[in-house]
Amino acid sequence: MSTAREDLVVMKFGGTSVEDARAMERTAAIVAGRRGRGLRAVVVVSAMAKVTDQLLTAAKAAGNGDKAGALAVAARLRSRHLDTAAQLLDEARMEQMHLALGQEFDALDDLLRGISAVGELTPRTNDLVLSFGERLSSRMMAEAFAQRGLHGAHVDARSCVVTDAHFGKAAPLEAAIESRLLEHVLPLVEAGRTPVMGGFIGATVDGITTTLGRGGSDYTAALVGGALHAGAIEIWTDVNGIMTTDPRICPDALRVKTISFEEAAELAYFGAKVLHPATILPAVQKSIPVWVLNSRDAENEGTKITAVAPHCSSPFKSIAAKKKLTIIDVVASRMLMSHGYLKAVFDVFDKYKCAIDMVSTSEVSISLTVDSNERLPEICEELGRIADVKYEGRKALICLVGEDIRGRNGIAGRVFTAVSHVNLRMISQGASEINMSFMIDEDDVEEAVRSLHRAFFTEPDATVFDVDARKAAAARVAATA
Ligand code: ADP
Ligand code: ASP
Ligand code: MG
């Protein structure tokens, strides 16, 4: 194994950190700051905020034969990107960029016309449409870096991020990625350049464009950091780090100063959008610290994710919520579940490649939750041959995560007291022993999260949570009152 490149940092900037020319300026200043400290940077960017959603809309419209609708979305994207580039770049660079972006958008228009002519959107073509977001943002960001003395060098991520052909959620092929990065990206770093590549996108060994799944730019950053043995991976976003819960639900959520890989992975898996669930793995394997930082407040210390979390007197680090789940109740028609019965049930989910989030069983019934319901009618029809099946959508999973619940009594009691007014289903303490989770109706999520947050984060451990920020906010409110 080669040794770590301690002075190399992989910096990933999410959609809001490249949403317009001002955000891109801030991003350039943050990268300049790292280089000013003698660090070398590889930059991974998301598409500009909301662009992936809009490309998805365009692709769907085209798939339904709505050519005019699809092209109208693309036209709006074209002017947004050109306006942003014009604000960022000097005249000479803009002239080049105008041509480059023009070619990309012409290709997108052609593609959308083709999809609407056929009237069918395959997962493979969908990935190709979505890839434009990161291709465009990374090109613009690289040129903005070049103009600002950061020696930006654009790298098409598809030349390095090799994946399988599972369109929509492709799995990276790490050995191939490592050798491509060593060949194409490391020499740029060694020449003092700042490589800029789009996250989320990749290509098969045959060069067919793929994507890593929504939110996948974090994953790209971790793959690149892992392959290059970086000293650190920084995930730059629009909040101060991993917070005690989504600040959109609880504005008084606190920044968690340090969290373990295991806790962060659990949170991401159970719905905390701040990190893509697969992000942690490449970093864990190489013990590379991951930081979550705020590109709108670059001085804030953020959250450090490390192999071992410091001891914390508060049982939980954070509360995650995952919506749009469906509960499926499978009741055995014969009184007792016979040998092989569970396997038969799980085989049906396996057949339709439907991931199960949570399971609880009793003597005659099994309850399962799934977050994709596209194949639900077929799954339930097939299960109906061996059992009575019911399913109910619009459910949500609430998950409280913290290593310090291990071996402590009375925590579950405190959780249930906090949400005693909410109807709970399928309660589970994860096998990992670091989470407690339960299902509720989607409409109860905000209320439940706020109640739990009040119960567990009113007097949190000041060594682990940024309590000072809360005190400062309270002082500001008092001063204006
Ligand atoms: P990016 O575009 O930078 O990848 P995301 O929107 O994917 O950003 O993730 C950041 C958002 O995640 C935040 O704005 C916040 O609303 C949400 N979020 C959910 N749970 C948490 C949490 N525990 N800590 C911080 N942010 C969270
Ligand atoms: N742009 C992609 C998305 O919106 C990937 C990412 O931002 O991480 O899902
Ligand atoms: Mg994200």
**Top-confidence residue, 82 or 363:** 82
Answer for the pair 199, 11: CB distance below 8 angstroms, yes or no: no
Answer for the pair 158, 209: CB distance below 8 angstroms, yes or no: yes
CATH superfamily ID and name for 5-238 = Acetylglutamate kinase-like (3.40.1160.10)
For residue 375, the model assigns a pLDDT of: 83
Instruction: Give the pLDDT mean for 367-371.
Output: 90
Buried b (16+ CB within 10 A) or exposed e, 431-447: eeebbbbbbbeeebbee
For residue 451, the model assigns a pLDDT of: 97
294 phi/psi in degrees, rounded to 5: -105, 115
For residue 336, the model assigns a pLDDT of: 53
On the question of pLDDT at 335 being above 70, the answer is no
Instruction: Indicate whether this model's pTM tops 0.75.
Output: yes
Question: Comparing C-alpha atoms, which of 350, 382, 344, 385 is closest to residue 366?
Answer: 344
pLDDT tens string 144-159: 999 999 999 999 999 9
Closest protein CA for atom 5 of ligand 1: 274
Residues with CB under 6 A from ligand 1: 14-16, 46, 215, 237-239, 242-243, 245-248, 272-274, 318
On the question of pLDDT at 445 being above 80, the answer is yes
Tell whether ligand 2 has an atom less than 6 A from the beta carbon of residue 199: yes
- Ion ligand 3, residues whose Cβ is below 5 A away: 14, 215
Tell whether ligand 2 has an atom less than 6 A from the beta carbon of residue 273: no
On the question of pLDDT at 1 being above 60, the answer is no
What residue ranges of the chain are covered by domains with CATH 3.30.2130.10?
318-473
As a whole-number percent, the residues of the chain with pLDDT over 70 amount to: 98
Token code pair at residue 363: 């003597």
| Protein fold of 318-473 | VC0802-like (3.30.2130)
Token code pair at residue 387: 């059992």
What residue ranges of the chain are covered by domains with CATH 3.40.1160.10?
5-238
pLDDT band at 467; cut points 50, 70, 90: very high
Of 61-65, 66-70, 422-426, where does mean pLDDT reach its minimum?
422-426
